[in-house]
Chain A
């Protein structure tokens, strides 16, 4: 509305400025014509005197013409011309100007300044003329004038057209603007009301879309996406609280009971000592569960962009594999690490390491438990746990496969769901949240995880998208690049982060994509995740 008002003001100012200027211009033009004519008549007078002048004037008079003349003799008598008297308006010191005269529409006599009689009013009209008074040598005065009424009418027409046009514009603009803004305001009001409703507690509510896909719709769309995320986080939070309530209260209870029992059963120092040690162990177990729950909640909540750097997945697999190898061997299993090539992704090394550790730990734990007892008729299962890494398209595929009891197909989806643990594993020592943490780490890095049947056993297949392209690689024949990633320098090109990384075997220049993750396909149960950043 303000815009329209400004436009209107400008239009009026323009009109105020333009119109007089135009009329001035027209007037000047006419004056020049008149001056030229006056000069011409002067020449006639110079050539042939008064008679010649009178003749010229008579010759120039035409009925209905635009030229007007009046020649006054030295004694005040009319000598020539079609005006009946000297226009009084021209008697100003300037001896020039405009005046009004009346003429009959079809013919004849002109009476400037005279009020029209009623009979003549039908035929006479008042018109505007512009003229000059010229002094003729010998005491005479000559009025040379021109009818400019047509121009005046034209000017008036233009003026009113402009004003009218602008007025129409203003009205339409204001009207239209009001209409549009009211509509927009109504929609914004809707959005406001919807969000107030949601804030009041209806977390599942969403802002309605009008379907026109304009800016407001797009805004509503983004807001809805935000609300979706908030709902997700809130439900996650609720689940954490529920889990904390359940999974920590039971061990806490156990702890308390044990302590109480120790106090009750009056014993010797060593009995107290044992009880206290058991209490500490229980407390430690509690702490582990609590920390795991917190980690998962934190991971679900968001990205750790600062600590995501290019890491060598092969090195991580080798390191963690080597960490668990003795343990696996003690339990009677061989841990095989098969790294096809060195693949780099942008990730958090600690989290990836923890993820692999959890998977291997699970594999060893469950495989050991499923060992057939001596003398049973069950077929011998293979006693190896395989850890492999290879490139699949533009993704890195990590597989941890064991020959343990596996997970029933029906339970696989549930096993990966946030904060869900299969009943069997909940009562086991340890936090039992290993797989949940693995899933959380995979999600955080925009990857996907599948649980498959290893015939027999469990096969965990993890895909991480967007592996870094290696630009220049040193000769890796001597072995994997080991150790923590060293100092890095980074530059960002569009969609890629270029970094130079130094490992044990020299510098490797990498080109790591930073765009949104693509969801790769996955076999059976799959959790497809988007990087939350």
Chain B
């Protein structure tokens, strides 16, 4: 394991682990500092567009498997976000302390300091940055342990990238302080959280309690992709993988009530990922 500190043009690069990629035996080691230099420079270009407006999230990935870290970094970049990578628990903790991120993605098994300890330490220090814990350990008690250490969400490997992206975006939305909105609306669809009344285009829609909860969650994350497992977790509070398409049928029923007799569909299916409620114009 080789930790690099150094300067990269005008940027000060902090500790990064450049362990040989596990799956690519026989390849030459990558020219480390140069590579990270390029990545970081590119990231910082992307982070701020011409008007210096923040367009995406800043994500910190604490993952010791280089392949995974690189993949996540690239994928997040393509989704319009920016990621920094730390290869072990200690440098990850240092990075998290020094900079502010929108979301942390922390692998559970890390060298030097394990993921749960990193999260626990951050929480003890008063850091409330949302954390998504990645782990190969996926049993019920593992999940509970991870969430108890201070994690906000838990994803077991192997995961679909779309799942990860959806969850990360959902988490980062939470870090934006929002006043408890009592009325959610997307286009002409409105939902009143106090009276539990739903209407579209002025016409009242009657929903079953569960359908209401489903719609509420989708609208709370309007514009964001919500996966089936997220729905099962948040609306039914169960953390297992339903073997069949139970959620899909619930969604199609809901769609029947809020979209069918109206002009523009709001509830869309994102193939391979999940569902999103958004105005077609977005």
Where the two chains meet, the residues of A that have a C-beta atom closer than 8 Å to any C-beta of B are 283-284, 287-288, 291, 294-295, 298, 304, 306-307, 319-320, 322-324, 326-327, 329-330, 348, 350-351, 353-354, 357-358, 361, 364-365, 430-431, 434, 483-484
CB distance from A396 to the nearest CB of B (A): 19
CB distance from A455 to the nearest CB of B (A): 27
Q: Report how many residues on chain B are interfacial, defined by Cβ distance under 8 Å.
A: 24
Contact A288 B243 (CB under 8 A): yes
Q: When each residue 235-268 of chain B gets 1 if its CB lies under 8 Å from chain A and 0 otherwise, what string results?
A: 0111111111110011001000000000000000
Contact A330 B249 (CB under 8 A): yes
Kindly list chain B residues whose C-beta atoms are within 8 Å of the C-beta of A353.
Answer: 238, 240
CB distance from B245 to the nearest CB of A (A): 7
Contact A434 B243 (CB under 8 A): yes
Where the two chains meet, the residues of B that have a C-beta atom closer than 8 Å to any C-beta of A are 138-141, 144, 156, 158, 160, 210, 232, 236-246, 249-250, 253
Kindly list chain B residues whose C-beta atoms are within 8 Å of the C-beta of A294.
Answer: 138-139
Which of A291, A307, A365, A434 sits near B138, CB closer than 8 Å? A291
Contact A306 B249 (CB under 8 A): no
Contact A323 B236 (CB under 8 A): yes
Kindly list chain A residues whose C-beta atoms are within 8 Å of the C-beta of B156.
Answer: 291
A365 to B246, CA, bound (A): 12
Give 19 A-B contacts (CB < 8 Å), ordered by A residue. Answer: A288-B243, A298-B139, A306-B141, A307-B144, A320-B238, A322-B210, A323-B232, A323-B236, A323-B250, A326-B249, A329-B249, A348-B140, A350-B140, A353-B238, A353-B240, A354-B238, A357-B238, A358-B243, A365-B244
Contact A323 B240 (CB under 8 A): no
Kindly list chain B residues whose C-beta atoms are within 8 Å of the C-beta of A329.
Answer: 249
A353 to B236, CA, bound (A): 10
Kindly list chain B residues whose C-beta atoms are within 8 Å of the C-beta of A326.
Answer: 246, 249-250, 253
Contact A327 B237 (CB under 8 A): no
Q: Which residue of chain A has its CB nearest to the CB of B139?
A: A298
Contact A295 B139 (CB under 8 A): yes
Among A307, A357, A361: residue with most chain B CB under 10 A: A357
Q: What secondary structure prevails in chain A residues at the interface with B?
A: helix
Q: Which residue of chain B has its CB nearest to the CB of A351?
A: B140
Kindly list chain A residues whose C-beta atoms are within 8 Å of the C-beta of B237.
Answer: 319, 483-484
Which of B141, B144, B246 sits near A323, CB closer than 8 Å? B246
A327-B249, A348-B140, A351-B140 are known contacts. Are A287 and B238 too (CB-CB below 8 A)? no
A483 to B140, CA, bound (A): 18
What are the 8 tightest A-B residue pairs by CB atom distance, in nearest-first order?
A326-B249, A354-B240, A353-B238, A484-B237, A350-B140, A327-B246, A327-B249, A304-B141
CB distance from A313 to the nearest CB of B (A): 15
Q: Which residue of chain B has its CB nearest to the CB of A306?
A: B141
A324 to B245, CA, bound (A): 9
Which of B240, B249, B250, B253 sits near A350, CB closer than 8 Å? B240
CB distance from A503 to the nearest CB of B (A): 13
A219 to B240, CA, bound (A): 42
Kindly list chain B residues whose C-beta atoms are within 8 Å of the C-beta of A283.
Answer: 158
Q: Which residue of chain A has its CB nearest to the CB of B211?
A: A326
A132 to B18, CA, bound (A): 108
Which of B139, B236, B238, B243 sits near A430, CB closer than 8 Å? B243
* Other A-B pairs beyond A357-B240, A357-B242, 7, CB < 8 Å: A291-B241, A326-B250, A327-B244, A327-B249, A348-B140, A354-B240, A364-B244
